[in-house]
Amino acid sequence: MAAGRHPFGLSRALPALALLALAGCAHPSVPPPGTGRLRLEPARFADLPGWRRDVLADAVPALAKSCPPLLRSKAAAGWRGACAAISRLKPEDRQAARHFFEHWFRPYLVTANGSATGLFTAYYEPEIKGARHRHGPYTVPLLARPSDLVTVDPARFHKGFDHRRLVGRVEDGRLVPYPTRARIEAGALGRRARPLFWLEDPVAAAILQIQGSGLIALPDGTVRQVGVAATNGREFVGPGRILAERGIHVAPDMPAIRDWLRAHPRQAKSVLDANPRYVFYRLMPHKGPVGTEGVVLTPGRSLAVDPRYIALGTPLWLDTTAPGGKPIRRLVVAQDTGGAIKGPVRGDLFWGIGEAAFSQAGRMKAPGRYWLLLPKR
């Protein structure tokens, strides 16, 4: 999901979860996420499956967007030549784009624990019907950040603490946990959180909270973009996991889970309330979904990664499988992150905006590999 920069450095809901996490399922042939030590094995472009068939020019705009933040980073010296060269490329010149990547970069296969295989999922940006004021079917509030919500970075007080933020509110001079989703839905915040918009579909609202950013289509035809302002700091529990724990059998993909929730509105509220996490929103400039790197994401060319292993702005050659079994072999750029995206070989492909993107992103869950393309200099 991605939206405008989150105050915690995440673009999507904290955690900014892939639809895999929403469904609460895993792939049996993929190593556990969040484990392993990254190793890079030098490769040749001829080793990259499908390299000659990809239209590399389609990835040039994505990498060009990453150049300004790259040139402000500690690695700027290694990127100056490539970023200067990419600014001179013409969008329609496919041959020049291929020469650019093969001239300036060298590929490296990423492995962890001796394996190059990891898990790849996808995400999208939802577009939801809403209104500025409550009326008719628009009864589900999309709340702004509450006035009493407090975030604390313990590491600023003592070097022995890690950098995980604490979220809560102050009661009688003490920081206490913020209310759960169920309590917030029941009105626990009162007037401390004002609605930005009113939505008509509680299930769509829940999916928006998982994706993070989204578009609100208003009755007058205008569209407003919203992004994550804060969360209540509670743990996320996906509806797929909750359904499984309750013995309710639903296909482990988000379109199927959404259909079940809409077909069972009474049970759906109980399922959604079992997820303690709640996300608060703010208005964003409508430029398109923005990733953690601070740039507008490119459908099919932007990848969410674990920044502990992969630097944002790095181009990667992706080799995985789309829903239905068609290979995905293309150049992408690491431009986003997510709380469920953990490990040396783990990616979440940004599919696009709207229902068509949802139908694909919600079903993507496949093993795959990637190669880093690092500047030769």
C-alpha atoms less than 13 angstroms from C-alpha of 125 in its C-beta half-sphere? 30
What CA–CA distance (Å, rounded) separates 207 from 19?
A: 9
What CA–CA distance (Å, rounded) separates 66 from 56?
A: 16
pLDDT, one tens digit for every residue, the chain (377 residues): 333 323 222 334 333 333 443 444 444 455 555 567 899 999 999 999 999 999 999 999 999 999 999 999 999 999 999 999 999 999 889 999 999 999 999 999 999 989 999 999 999 999 999 999 999 999 999 999 999 999 988 878 877 676 678 899 999 999 999 999 999 999 999 999 999 999 999 999 999 998 888 999 999 999 999 989 999 999 999 899 999 999 999 988 889 999 999 999 999 999 999 999 999 999 988 778 888 999 999 999 999 999 999 999 999 999 999 999 999 999 999 999 987 799 999 999 999 998 899 989 989 999 999 999 999 97
What CA–CA distance (Å, rounded) separates 96 from 100?
A: 6
Helix (H, G, I), strand (E, B) or coil at 300: coil
Q: What is the DSSP string of 162-205?
A: -SPPEEEEEETTEEEEPPPHHHHHTTTTGGGS-EEEEES-HHHH
**Residues 307, 13, 323, 297, Cα dihedral to 10°:** -60
Which residues contact residue 50 at a Cβ distance below 8 angstroms, ignoring those fewer than 6 apart? 319, 327, 329, 330
**Structural domains of the chain, ranges and CATH numbers in brackets:** 38-120+290-375 (2.40.40.10), 123-284 (2.40.240.50)
For helices 202-211 and 265-273, what crossing angle results, to 10°?
A: 30
